[in-house]
Chain A
Amino acid sequence: MLVFILKRLVNAVFVMMAVAFLAFAIFQVAGDPVEMLANEQMSQVDRDALRDRMGLNDPMPVQFMRFVGNAMQGDFGMSYRNNQDVIGLIAERFPATMELVLVATLISLVVGIPLGILTAIGRGRWYAEGLQFLSIIGVSLPSFVVGIMLILVFSVILGWSPSFGRGEVVDFGWWSTGLLTPSGRAALVLPAISLSLYQITLIMRLVRAEMLEVLRTDFIKFARARGIPRHRIWFRHALRNCLMPVVTMTAMNVGALIAFALITETVFQWPGMGMLFIQAVTFLDFPVMAAYLVIISFIFVVLNTMVDISYAIIDPRLRSAR
């Protein structure tokens, strides 16, 4: 067990080092940072001094190690664009993205699980096959198309909800939330639905596949032979045995949703990390791009590692072997 956990952790560290190297490489191909920061009037002497201060004359490995060391302390340098702390910029945007992602996850579970059950137990019926067909469309629709259609219908035509922004927010320390104000909640609805649509179809298909699998097992047949009614077999015996993979997939996909949110945020002008990244790209703001890459990857890796480890802990065979 301990060996397994250690292996996972070492694995995670390797992945993060690779990502850090990529982020670092961005700077190498991006051109001279001094040119980016310096203004026209700066003399060559000043430029050299700046270059030296930034450590750009050190050998490459030293620069890389310094980059990693700083990143571990949350120091990604200054934004080229407005001379703000990069980490501060990201922290400011982080709550917006997280609220969007968490609400989208919630929606995908609340809608996806019942749909999965329905399509599994109604297999062969018209409504189940219809839903199954719709889910194929759901998987293949690009999320910006969904977003634009939602805006068109609900904001432009019906005028029910705002088409951009986050509404009013309330601050708790560094965390700002839109969940407590009516306008904040209204603004969240469309982006969250748009972001969750793909996830709903994933969960629905996973639950369906797992349910069909579990319904074939002996213990389900035996439960039928014991005279347990159908609904109890579906919702108590079968569903329970399906939830484990659903929970793990959901946890792993939070990382993917944060990354996907980039598109949704752009479509809905949602002031999250994804928007920050897109702006950074347009302004060639390399420190922000690098920081985004590293932080998103970090969230990914942490979630995956936690899921792997919890899987091992929950597996009863490993549990009783301890």
Chain B
Amino acid sequence: MNVLEVRDLRVEFPTHRGVLTALDNVSLSIRPGEILGVVGESGAGKSMTGLAVQGLLEPPGRIASGSVTLNGRRIDTLSDREMTRIRGREIGAIFQDPLTSLNPLFTVGAQLVETIRQHLPMSASAARARAVELLAEVGIPAPSERVDHYPHQFSGGMRQRVVIALALAARPSLIIADEPTTALDVSIQAQITALLRRLCAEHGSAVMLVTHDMGVIAETADRVAVMYAGRLIEIGEVAQVTRDPQHPYTQGLMGSIPALGARVPRLEQIDGSMPRLNAIPPGCAFNPRCPQAGPRCRRERPELFTAGAEKAACWLLEGGTA
């Protein structure tokens, strides 16, 4: 059974100038212990997907249709109170900026103990011992002293380790890591990614890893999902997608990576930029920039078509021509 199963997810933001569709037709799944990388340009909807899964969409944003299933249980229909019991317990989260993720007025120990006791039936002293263990596990030196320190007494990299400890505190089966290294110094990014991969392997947690860094995807992820303008356009095994991308957008993405470890730049090879949510063209959202676009691409929207072990949303995969 998949840990996470997202089906045809559609997220809308009603505004006074009409309804914005932030996510449309997003379907993806993650198996136990698997790491799914999610890539795409800024504004493609990567964070939004993670938030929708966690039930953390900012009102008035809402899931308009589709479903989210966690370990066989449908969770997109749960109340916020019920989701509170799932967040932190079954889904751990890691945010982008460790400098702002922790409450400055509480020690890291207090925040760990709070999270542990929220989800697990433990005495205060047992939770504290567990907090020290967790800090040791994420590689913080002298954890029994550090547990009583405030966030501002840690460096950025150390703070992200604390955030990882918080995400893992209740041994969730799914971790959603939204650009966990983007805000960090380049020299420690690799360490943090490696730590995350090792811990999730040890705990058997599945991971949804949002990143801009195709190098991280290549090194860390098992499968990769590519997003564009709020839609999932390609998903498949990392090796396959990087070697033989099916969607013209992904081909452009891969073409723009000079070497492993390089960040995804704006797509210089492909003219133009991703459309805004209120100006997504009809048909295939990518058609104004696509070198292979045909008349059908401007009229009809492509489904995810299966191409070998991968799927991509492009008319080329259906009949060979667009």
Q: B-contacting residues of A (Cβ < 8 Å)?
A: 217-219, 221-230, 232, 237, 240-241, 316-317, 320
Contacts and interface: CB of A to CB of B under 8 A. Distances in A.
Nearest to A220: B103
Interface of B: 54, 56, 80-81, 84-89, 91, 93, 95, 97, 100-106, 114-115, 118-119, 150, 152-153, 163, 166-167, 169-170
Given A217-B100, A219-B103, A226-B169, 18 more contacts: A218-B95, A219-B101, A221-B95, A222-B102, A222-B166, A226-B167, A227-B84, A228-B84, A228-B115, A229-B81, A229-B118, A230-B84, A237-B103, A237-B106, A240-B105, A241-B103, A316-B104, A320-B153
11 contacts: A221-B95, A222-B163, A225-B54, A225-B91, A226-B87, A226-B93, A227-B84, A227-B115, A227-B119, A229-B81, A229-B118
Contacts of A225: 54, 56, 87-88, 91, 93, 95
Closest 6 CB pairs of A and B: A227-B88, A225-B93, A218-B100, A227-B87, A226-B88, A222-B101
Contact of B102 (A219, A240, A316): A219
A225 B166 CA distance: 10
Given A221-B56, A316-B150, A227 B102 contact: no
Contacts of A232: 114
Nearest to B93: A225
A222 B151 CA distance: 14
B95 A227 contact: no
B166 A226 contact: yes
A219 B84 contact: no
Given A227-B84, A230-B84, A320-B152, A219 B104 contact: yes
A175 B87 CA distance: 57
A320 to B, nearest CB: 7
B100 A241 contact: no
Contacts of B163: 222
A173 B39 CA distance: 76
Contact of A224 (B87, B106, B166): B87
Nearest to B95: A222
A219 B96 CA distance: 11
Contact of B85 (A227, A230, A241): A227
Given A218-B97, A221-B56, A228 B118 contact: yes
Contacts of B166: 222, 226
Nearest to B169: A226
Nearest to B101: A222
A260 to B, nearest CB: 32
Contacts of B118: 226-229
